[in-house]
Amino acid sequence: MSWASPSRNARRGLHDRVPHGRTLRLHHGSTDGGAEISNDEGLPGGHFEGDGAGEVDGGLCEVFEAEEKMTELQKHLDHLKKMAITAFEKHVLVEQHVSDIGGNRWFIARPHKDGNGYDGTYATEIIALRNGRLFVGGDIDDCVFAYGDKEPLQRLRWIGCCEDLGYYVKQKATIGLGDGFKLTEEYVPSVARSQLEEVLRDAEKENTKEEYLEYLREAKDHVDEHDDLMQFVHEHLSEYELYYLGGCCSARVVFAWAAVRRLCELLGLRENQDKTDGSTT
């Protein structure tokens, strides 16, 4: 079996689709050579056909377990997840309305310490809308996930029992909000800097022209402001993948996910529930 070494563009095109702590190998039967690409998050493990990176030409991609290595992106997302889970850990189920014609809804909130009433902080309403959508809102930014199971409890599991926030949950929120990632992604300078350093290391290994390397090094001076970095990339680098530097799953999505996760706990839906990426929907 021979392993093709894809171009830098091909690697970055597939970079965000490799699961945390795993490695991607691209197999082209007609080409000798080898390549292993480590990454922090993306699609579940297994075999899938290469797409979204024209140089791959549909070559077989094999994902296998590898030594876990936390990237700056994964560190940021893990920190955000812990904050969100903590925000809802004392919430209880205050109200629930079940309907035979759809519109099932639940309201969760944190009870006051004296037992009288509920605190409005992070109080959240979750509604299983018709057509497979799931609305989450209240004292958090509104979010809609689409499209899930028609059965309301299965739809709660679909999001609340999923751990793949960086790809799958964000994708479903992007579809539900129809925002083209404007609300479901946010820019994080430290992540952009780390990703640029990785791009630079790859470029240096491939004997890239020195002028291009200098522009990559200079780009790190522009990461503090997203608009500034994008302007620099547009003027000097103009590579499609670089326009996504620093993009992370937004707090809007993570807190909405954490609210559904807590509701699943309260309803017993997470008991004996294996972690799933939900990708069958």
pLDDT tens for 75-108 read 999 999 999 999 999 999 999 998 876 679 999 9
Amino acid at 69: K
Q: Look up the pTM and report it.
A: 0.72
Residues 6+ apart with CB under 8 A from 113: none
* Contact of 136 with 126, CB cutoff 8 Å: yes
Kindly state the tokens that stand for 272: 């004996």
Binned at pLDDT 50, 70 and 90, residue 69 comes out as low
Report the range of poorest mean pLDDT among 8-17, 157-166, 186-195, 248-257: 8-17
Helix (H) or strand (E) holding 61: strand 60-65
CA atoms in the 13 A half-sphere facing the CB of 199 = 29
Domain ranges of the chain: 8-69, 75-185+250-266, 189-245
Q: Which stretches does DSSP call E strand in the chain?
A: 18-27, 37-41, 46-49, 60-65, 92-97, 104-111, 118-128, 134-138, 143-145, 185-187, 247-249
Does residue 40 carry a pLDDT above 70? Answer: no
Q: What is the pLDDT of residue 6?
A: 30
Between 15 and 200, name the one with better pLDDT. Answer: 200
